[in-house]
Structure 1
Amino acid sequence: MSDDSGLHALVVTFLGLSLVSVGGGIAVLPEMSRLVVQEHGWMSQLQFAKLFALAQAAPGPNIMVVGLIGWHVAGAAGMFLAMLAMCGPTSLLAYAFSRLQRRELPWLRRAERGLVPIAIGLIAASGLLLAEGTVREAPPVLAVVLASFLFVWRTQRSPLWVLLGGAGFGAALLR
């Protein structure tokens, strides 16, 4: 694939994702994964999960994974164009809707309430996708995910304990 066709594919891919990212960029993670891994073949599912984890570990917006994918595919230009394609259209839409919200429009309130369950479903699908791709490569991760879920659900303790436990588990696997 030439650099121009790779850049074009990146821009088209992330422009499309940008316009359906109800609930934030992470809400379209399953579709992003499908496009990046299966349709374009830019990386494996494990590489995708690792880039996502790296983006989440770094300070800044959680959509930084798009920049990492762009970098992986086409270097610095790919990173810049992928981020612009992902963030540009939604930024313009957010600005336009912020202008509308100053008016009391009943249809806008109903639309906002209707988008909430869609966003929750998309974000839940993202979590399942990441867990599925990771568990295939590292089965002990499933036990950690389930233990973390149960800990947060059934106790009143801080979720920071889950982060500390996950860090310890990750450090143990690195040895």
Structure 2
Amino acid sequence: MIVLQLFLDFALLSFVAFGGATALLPEMHRVVVEQHHWLNDATFTHLYAIAQAAPGPNVLVVTLIGWEVAGLGGALAATLAMCLPMSILIYLLIDRWEGFAGKRWQQAISLGVAPLAVGLIFSGATRIGMAAGFGPAAWALVGLAALANTRLKLHPLWFIGVGAVLGALGGV
């Protein structure tokens, strides 16, 4: 029964996955932690961290959640549910979508998806920070890193390294 529920919940989520699975983190958290109580905040955050550290697509977090909740069946159900429904819909609609190229409503949708994805990803990052128990120093570091990243021409690994050193020293 849990496997079916995982499939249904993640299938619904797949239809609003603008920006990928990471953009859905707040809603995944709500469903998995708050609604069903399958995981707690710490486990959810750890699974997200593992998924981000591993090579591969960001949808890996869905597979890990499914695995943690219901083993191999849960991993397969959650992953298929996140990937399959929208893939089928896109396959069926892509020819028609291209036929509307140049229409005002089609351009409006195309332009509107980008800020939607950015907002969803920002919301997901905020949810992970809250679940990880970020304090004022950690939020300040996030803001400072975001600002520095827009102003400086440094590779992102420098920011990750500074954050790791500050974390190891107990600064955040």
Q: CA deviation at 1:19?
A: 1.1
Asked if residue 12 in structure 1 is aligned to residue 8 in structure 2, the reply is yes
Equivalent residue number for residue 155 of structure 2: 158
The answer to whether structure 1 residue 114 and structure 2 residue 112 are counterparts is yes
Contact 1:135/1:141 (<8 A) preserved: no
- Structure 1 spans left out of the alignment, 5+ residues: none
Q: 1:102 to 1:79 in 2, by over 3 A?
A: same
Give the distance between the partners of 2:157 and 2:31, measured in 1 at CA.
33
**1:170 Cα deviation after fit:** 5.3
Partner residue of 1:128? Answer: 126
Residue 139 of structure 1: how far off its partner (Å): 6.6
**Distance in 2 between the 1:113 and 1:12 partners?**
29
Question: Percent of aligned positions with the same letter in both sequences?
Answer: 39
CA distance in 1, matches of 2:167, 2:78: 30
Identify the residue that residue 29 of structure 2 maps to in structure 1.
33
Deviations 1:3-35 (A, max 9, x none): xx1111101110110112122222111101110
Contact 2:24/2:121 (<8 A) preserved? yes
* Aligned mates of 2:97, 2:9 — CA distance in 1: 30
Q: Quick one: distance in 2 between partners of 1:130 and 1:25? A: 13
Aligned to 2:43: 47
Computed over aligned residues only, the root mean square deviation of the Cα atoms, in angstroms, reads 2.2
CA distance in 2, matches of 1:95, 1:75: 30
The runs of 5 or more residues in structure 2 that have no matched partner are none
Contact (CA 8 Å) 1:67, 1:80: kept in 2 or not?
Answer: yes
CA distance in 2, matches of 1:140, 1:114: 34
Residue in structure 2 matched with residue 70 of structure 1 by the alignment: 66
Please state how far the C-alpha of 1:109 moved relative to its aligned partner.
2.7
Q: How many residues align structurally?
A: 168
Instruction: State which of 64, 69, 79 in structure 1 corresponds to 2:75.
Output: 79
Report the 3-state secondary structure (helix = DSSP H, G, I; strand = E; otherwise coil) of the residue aligned with 1:135: coil
Residue 118 of structure 1 deviates from its aligned partner by: 1.8
- Large movers: runs of 4+ above 6 Å: none
Q: Which moved more, 1:46-55 or 1:147-156?
A: 147-156
